[in-house]
Structure 1
Amino acid sequence: MRFLPVVAALLAATAASAQVPTGNSAPQPLPVTDLIPAARDIPYPGTVRLEVDATDTRQGIWTIRQTIPVVQPGRMTLLYPQWLPGNHAPRGELDKLSGLTFRAGDQVLPWTRDPADVYAFHLDVPAGVQEVQASFQLLTPTSPDQGRVLVTREMLNLQWEDVSLYPAGYYTRRIPVTATVAYPAGWRAATALRPSVQAGNRVTYGTVNYEVLQDSPVFAGRYFRADDLGQGVTLNTVADHPSELAVPADVLQKHRNLVTQSLRLFGARHYDHYDFLHAITGRLGGIGLEHHRSSENQNDPGYFTDWQASLPDHNLLPHEFVHSWNGKFRRPADLFTPDFRTPMRNSLLWLYEGQTQFWGHVLEARSGMSTKEQVLGKLAVIAATLDVRAGRQWRPLVDTTNDPIISARRPKAWTSWQRSEDYYNEGLLIWTEADAIIRGGTGNRRGMDDFARAFFGIRPGDWGVVSYTLDDVVRTLNGVYQYDWRSFLDQRVNQTGDGAPLGGFTRSGYRLDYAETPNAAQAASMKASKANDLSFSAGLTIDKDGKITQVIWGSPAFRAGLVVGETILAVDGRTYNEAAVKERITTAKGGSALLQLTTKRGEEVRLVPLSWNGGLRYPRFTKVGAKRGALDILLEPK
């Protein structure tokens, strides 16, 4: 009997369904009940008092006591901060909170953790109770594998969100807080907060709202210096050793230039005072985090004392300072939240972080923190890295703004294919191109400086938040120079494609080339990180011990089957070292011989033939012609 295709398919489906057991249990899910009151834009009645004992530098155990006024008897919900500004992801250190106890006078109040939101704690407050006391410890990491180290014998970094709870049901900007900290004896502390009372090593800060408190972290240390950079800005530095605090006069002047050039760029400031919190250390955990009136910055030893060698670190302070305008004062509307429980959305990070990355490099050059040639060297590495990033073929830039949430900055096996937080550096390339378009269309009379003043330079003295949308960005760009900016941004942000957006360089008369030796910026970076970067030749990077730390998707190393974590033991029968592999790649240039790598991964040792005869290749920009282009003008001091 001959069946029609449709009839045959129906009979097959019926037969398949008949084989599915019908007596299996099939429960229905329990509904999730939200027990946490929504944040309201009303004042919290009373002031929260927070006391932190941060004197333990041996075990790093901080003791916290918090007094929280009671609004009414019954259920009270207290929250531990989860979604933290500048982190672009839920990064609250809840696992470090221990020993939590609530009391009303001498009575212990039992608590329960919310079953759906583990950052929320519920307790029942008896009638007549005016305030609740919370006590707990923050167990700061004692080694990097537990998290970022916050305490050493020489310094500490106190972030208020780690050591406090706040009442649910209110915008954080409507909750008053008075904080007191006991620091190790003899240490000095810096923060955007200002003391109201100081007695010995105990400092009480003036009352602020909880949002401002969270945005005003502390660096404190045994070895400390403060430098007035002018315009209400202070550079506060703590160090592992007092020798690191010797600052040459010309280096200090470059930091003063950074402040001057930034204010000339934006035309207004959005802080009453600003404090760089700066640690020169190899012991405290690394950080670069923006705040409205301060920033947290860690640089390696030698930052001041070996200025040329510290070239890779010269961009950190410019980047974080720009954030006072971009990210803190002007903030994407979907990143502004009423509290630290509401999820943040990152869709405009290509402006928040991308344009900050752009201005950070521009100000690095304008201030003299690095020379123009050094900055161009850094930009060449950025451009080349993104130009060979195969992941651009499937993942648009806008989707990388979700990476802080998806990946949480964990290591990746195939970064060039998976992509990472590319909105930083690819955003930089987009805004470099935008500047070249504006300058080209206006005969160099206008550029992105005009956008900066129009977009970020409004309302001088206001250190609140002015949110924005994509429409606001496009409107401001068109106010500077009429162009189809919406399509320009859509193509580069929302669309996939091959090759990075390098128009900002080509329009300025620069060509991305490759040479057999690294430019000065890349050489300094490789020396500081002890990395052998062969990304643009064989297609891999190798650490000082021969371990592969990156394999470029589609590269010769990729085609040879090499993976991250594999260790190169030998090259052509000779024990691996950086000089040997570079020498072998150089001698093989133009020939047809394969490089024979001996590698080890786990218990497996194998011989890997690597086909690459193009020699060593390191990116740099070559100026085409002598004409002064948009990029040259952009990087000049103002």
Structure 2
Amino acid sequence: MKRWPSLVGAAALAASAACAAHADTNAPANVVALTVTLPNPAQKVFYVHETMPVAPGKLTLYYPKYIPGDHAPDGPIGAMMGLEISAGGRRIAWQRDPVDMFTFHLDVPAGVGSIDIRFQIPDTDRITPNLMDLTWDHMALYRAGEPTRDQLFRPTLEMPATWGYGTALETDARDGGRIRFKPVPFNTLVDSPVIAGQYFRQIDVTPADSSVHRWLDLVGDSEAALQIKPEQLEGYRNLVVQAQNLFHSHHYANYHFLLTLSDHTSVGGLEHHQSSDDRARGGSHMFADPEHFMLDGSLLPHEYTHSWNGKFMRPAGLWQPDFEQPEIADGLWVYEGLTVYLGDALTARSGLWSAQDWRDALAYRAATFAHRPGREWRPLSDTTRAVQLLYGGDLGWVNWRRGTDFYREGQLLWLAVDTKIRALSHDKRTLDDFAQRFFSKDDGSYVTQTYTSDDVVAALNAVQPWDWAKFLHGWMDGVGDEVPLLSGIEQSGWKLVYTDTPSRYQNAVENVGKSEFSASGVDETFSVGLFINHDGNIMDVLWQGPAFKAGLAPEMKLQAVDGHAYTSRVLRDAIVRAQKDKQPIQILAEMDGISRTYAVDYFGGLRYPHLVRVAGTPDYLSEILAAKH
């Protein structure tokens, strides 16, 4: 087992939580006043003004580089415009560091006790004329040489007066479109995004027996986008209950699910300690369209699970005293992989997915990794260490190169752990027992605690003794058949099979899928070895698969199949016909202005993944997905 950095003591972080939990409205004199203004949403530009207490002499300022949850130095420094630093109305010269582009140096003149910092940040991904999704790490410089937990900020937001908003920050006062929040440490501010808009709705999803509030905050480009169905809302209420039944703890004062429902913003989710920042791939159609809702069903459960796994408990290499220090991401197989597993289980337990939806999703992902030849050369551990290179990577050759596989393959790993615990204990103990033991300490506290691989192994052994270190090391550092990829499915009483009919989940991925993990299009990876978008452009070709051997490649555009103009139906009809007549499929494709016909020797017919029960074996999957009481 690879070792992660040494455990960082919780006591070293206590001051951060104390400030966050008891922020004083009468902030001390060294507080940074930060005002972010959105004067014209249609221009999609935030205006930033900081008033920062300083002392005369040399000063170094940082722009956040390593954004928590991104696991990469991707702070949008390149978007910064109009940087001006002044004191008493007089400009102070600044200079960017020649090596670190996120660092600025200046000399504060004698007699100056504070400086004014002004700049602008355009954000076309998170602003529309009717809404915004504000993440504070994009909006501030902070002092070098001081832990971010010790730097207090008083944030103020100026936006259209008619807009509503949601955030985990505490509001001090509102005057029209000017909202002043209570002071918080900078690391808490970065961890507390704001969504706001003309069409905004806040729904209380707090269980009846709880005094800790949970809110579902919705913002969209229209009133229609916010129309959540009663059964969908009930699923989110159940999610809070099922998470409590799983973890037997909480690590926030209150929690806000921040959900943006727009067809004009980027897609994705980012975890925060007391909120989640979710932008539905279904956009304005998430609640109205069943396929969109199914694909978005696991988004909020995943980010909510991160409040326990990733925010409260965090791999030691992913905790740093500020946002400039490099993060060591070796622990992402727990941070993300376990969160996918637990979050998807909560999706089913809460009723946001049916058990069949969960099985279909797992079958599709398992088949994807069974057709991941990159596993022959690149261990899963390297996808965690190389995460900075993999986020946002192109889909072309991803099956050979590998991507952020610690998410979805991590789910298969943790399913194997769960079913192994159940088998070894004769169904007396489960991964739920591990989750409760590992994440329930210090109930109500949100002082970040860190862990190493040894801590994970020790907690697993405390639940069910076994050689977990050997098993996890073999999976993380093994390649090819050394990794028991389907063992969790096989131990669960089910098996992976292929039929000629796509599952409901795969149909949804093909029709409306859009995320960092998948794109919409025609997925014939498991047959001819092609993934094609709806315009007929090849997105990926299975390395050494039938299409690869014929000479096809990503970025080619399909023009015809067996003499007929390309459509997905024409391609699939040709696959069926080839199975019968054993004649190569003739694919006409164009690239760089050159058209050519490629003969694909594939005669295995259509193949789509499903899970089926194995008679006479324990049905662990049904137990895993059942609601807990």
Normalised by the size of structure 1, how large is the TM-score? 0.91
The answer on whether the counterparts of 2:166 and 2:258 sit within 8 Å (CA) in structure 1 is: yes
Alignment match, 1:8: none
Instruction: Describe the SS at the equivalent of 2:236.
Output: helix
User: In the alignment, does 2:372 pair up with 1:382?
Assistant: no
Question: Shift of residue 500 of structure 1?
Answer: 5.5
Q: Are 1:383 and 1:500, in contact at CA under 8 Å, matched by a contact in 2?
A: no
One-letter code aligned to 2:31: T
Post-superposition shift, 1:626?
5.4
1:447 aligns with 2:430: yes
Q: Give the whole-Å Cα distance in 2 for the aligned partners of 1:400 and 1:289.
A: 19
Distance 1:500 1:592, change over 3 A: farther
Please state whether the residue corresponding to 1:258 is helix, strand or coil: helix
Aligned residue runs from structure 1 range 426-505, under 5 A: 426-498=409-481, 501-505=485-489
Number of matched pairs: 591
Which of 327, 351, 365 is the equivalent residue of 1:344?
327
CA distance in 2, matches of 1:444, 1:369: 26
1:281 is aligned to 2:251: no
Partner of 2:242: 261
Contact 2:329 2:387 in 1 (8 A): no
* Residue pair 2:395, 2:539 contacting (<8 A) in 1 also: no
Distance 1:403 1:240, change over 3 A: farther
In the alignment, structure 1 residue 533 sits paired with structure 2 residue 537? no
Checking the alignment, whether the CA contact within 8 Å between 2:475 and 2:484 is kept in structure 1 is: no
Match of 1:396 in 2: 379
% identical aligned pairs: 38
Task: Say if 2:97 is the partner of 1:95.
Answer: no
Q: Note the C-alpha offset of 1:308.
A: 4.9
Residues 568-600 of structure 1: per-residue CA shift (max 9 Å, x gap): 100011000111111111122143201101110
Distance 1:45 1:550 in 2: 57
- Deviation, 1:616, is 0.4
1:491: how far off? 0.2
SS at match of 2:511: helix
2:162 corresponds to: 186
1:294 equivalent to 2:278? Answer no
Q: Give the letter for the 1:117 counterpart.
A: D
Residue in 2 that maps onto 1:55: 39
Structure 1 contact 58–152 (Cα < 8 Å) conserved: yes
Q: 1:106 aligned to 56, 80, 89, which one? A: 89
Structure number with greater CO (CA < 8 Å, separation at least 6) is 2
The whole-number CA distance in structure 1 between the counterparts of 2:370 and 2:571 is: 25
**1:117-144 alpha-carbon deviations (Å, 9 max, x no partner):** 1111111112221111111111223xxx
Structure 2 residue ranges without an equivalent (≥5):
1-12, 20-27, 208-212, 514-519
1:45 deviates by 7.1
The residue aligned with 2:573 is 583
The structural deviation recorded for 1:407 is 3.3
Equivalent AA in structure 1 for residue 451 of structure 2: Y
Q: Find the structure with the greater CA-based Rg.
A: 1
The one of 201, 211, 232 aligned to 1:251: 232
CA distance in 1, matches of 2:47, 2:351: 44
What per-residue deviation string (whole Å, max 9, x for no partner) do you get for residues 547-576 of structure 1? 111111111011111111101100011000
Corresponding position of 1:19: none
The C-alpha deviation readout for 1:251-287, integer Å capped at 9, x for no partner, is 1101101111011100100001010110111101112
Structure 1 SS opposite 2:154 = strand
Aligned to 1:165: 141
Shift of the 550–471 alpha-carbon distance from structure 1 to 2, 3 Å rule, reads same
Q: What does residue 609 of structure 1 align with?
A: 599
Structure 1 CA distance for aligned equivalents of residues 225 and 120 of structure 2: 32
Instruction: Decide which of 526, 531, 553 is 2:543's aligned counterpart.
Output: 553
Partners in 2 of 1:501 and 1:594 — Cα distance?
A: 32
**Match of 2:490, as an amino acid?**
T
Q: Tell me the residue number matched to 1:197.
A: 173
- Residue 150 (structure 1) aligned to one of 126, 142, 151: 126
Alpha-carbon RMSD across the aligned residues, in angstroms, is 1.6
Please give the alpha-carbon distance, in whole angstroms, between the structure 2 residues aligned to 1:502 and 1:253: 33
Residue 625 of structure 2 aligns with an amino acid whose one-letter code is: L
| 8 A Cα contact 1:551 1:558, kept in partner | yes
Which stretch has the larger CA shift, 299-308 or 174-183?
A: 299-308
Task: Judge conservation of contact 2:58–2:108 (CA < 8 Å) in 1.
Answer: yes
1:445 and 1:629 map into 2 onto residues whose CA distance is: 14
Q: Secondary structure at the match of 1:588?
A: helix
Deviation at 1:388, TM superposition (A): 1.5
| Corresponding residue for residue 522 of structure 1 | 506
- Structure 1 segments (4+ residues) deviating >6 Å: 41-45
Deviations along 1:370-408, one digit per CA (max 9) or x if unpaired, are 100111000001111111211111111010013431234
Give 5+ residue unaligned stretches, structure 1. Answer: 1-38, 142-148
Indicate how the Cα distance of structure 1 residues 113 and 308 shifts in structure 2: closer, same or farther if over 3 A, else same. closer
